[in-house]
Amino acid sequence: MQNKQEQIPLWRQLLATAQVIQAVAEGQSGGAAVEAVAAELRPGVQALAFHAWRNLGRAQALRQCLAKRPPPPEVDALLCVALALAWKDEGAPYDAFTLVNQCVEAAKRHPATRPQANFVNACLRRFLREREALVEATDSDLVARWNHPLWWIKRLKNDHPQHWQELLAAGNRQAPMTLRVNALQTSVPDYLAELEASGIAAQVAGPYGIVLAKPVPVGQLPGFASGRVSVQDSAAQLAAPLLLQGLLAPQRVLDACAAPGGKTGHLLELGVPHVTALDVDAARCERIGQNLARLGLRAEVIAADAARPDLWWDGKLFDAILLDAPCTASGIVRRHPDVRWLRRETDIAQLAALQHKLLQALWPLLAPGGRLLYCTCSVFRAEGAEQVKAFLAHHTDGTLLPSPGHLIPAKSAKHATVPDNSAPDHDGFFYALLQKRLA
């Protein structure tokens, strides 16, 4: 018997996927756009949208070959979805003829695309006839080849001349499912044994991490509901241990910009007695509370702007501060492939200014001898190395301790940049550990 997902006509999913792709092109986040899709369509549409975003550069180049003038946005989105899903057989969710037939059917079914249904049919039938030649004609297009905006490609070439191709390739891979073991409840070897007993293949990924051979619903993870493990990328798992290493029994730690609370939970799991978790979004603060409740842990959660300590700070200095600053998320595009098409180059300067503002506001809250860990899930130097260099140039009471710096996403231990090479696959991140000199 077919499951419910298989009973939904493909044309409905393709039409909804095109609407999601168009929403991101117009400035809406992919998560919000997918959330707006009807519940019964949502799982299939998300999978198709992720595939489309990872191939959208090629699709746009192919569409330009098929139609020199851009068609109306709704038609353009539908064409690009069809081309992104069908341009190569490897990894395609359906065969090319099925995709084309169903996209034409989708065009006929919606008022905004119905007048252009014959145009959609003509473009896609030509694509089927000339697919090999059309793909070859777009091979020299950098955007088509790498499926990232041209400004993004150029910035990576400038920021990481030795690794830019590796970064772009990593951005198009599917991310693994990585777990963080709760050290208060179990150990990595013991939890690995639990997974094996449950028939879930996995391997060690760092001192607290385990990476699964393939993703599973969290409900299938032993002890997930009781907090034995959390889902967290290997690179993100470095934050709490890096901040705490070498500190003598820190009593007060601030996790600024803390939502959804993964790093807050890790700090508490490692024995910090008092953590203040701050986030500007009250709804996201609720998420922090929910995640901590699952872990059986508690923190002081405050909904406030970290850049305005006058509105929330009690005047007591912190022993350590974790600043996971808002950023372009350029290091996690494999998990959020919409980001590359959502971001604009001008966003970098705007976010860098916010990061600078947060560093300036939080540094006075740190006790002499204390440490501030500045991190972003970005691979752009303006949000990492350049930000820290500028900060230290104007804060002579700060010292940069040994830090990972820019972590290049890696798929094998040979290329891993996590310090001990024990994490075989991780997101792009930046870490700088700053210490305030004693008076």
Q: Which residues are catalytic?
A: 377
Task: Print burial letters for 354-385: b (CB count within 10 Å at least 16), e (below 16).
Answer: ebbebbebbbebbbeebbbbbbbbbbbbbbbe
Strands 300-303 and 274-279: parallel
Residue 255 to residue 85: CA distance in whole angstroms = 41
CA atoms within 13 A on the CB side of 264: 31
Residue 293 to residue 322: CA distance in whole angstroms = 21
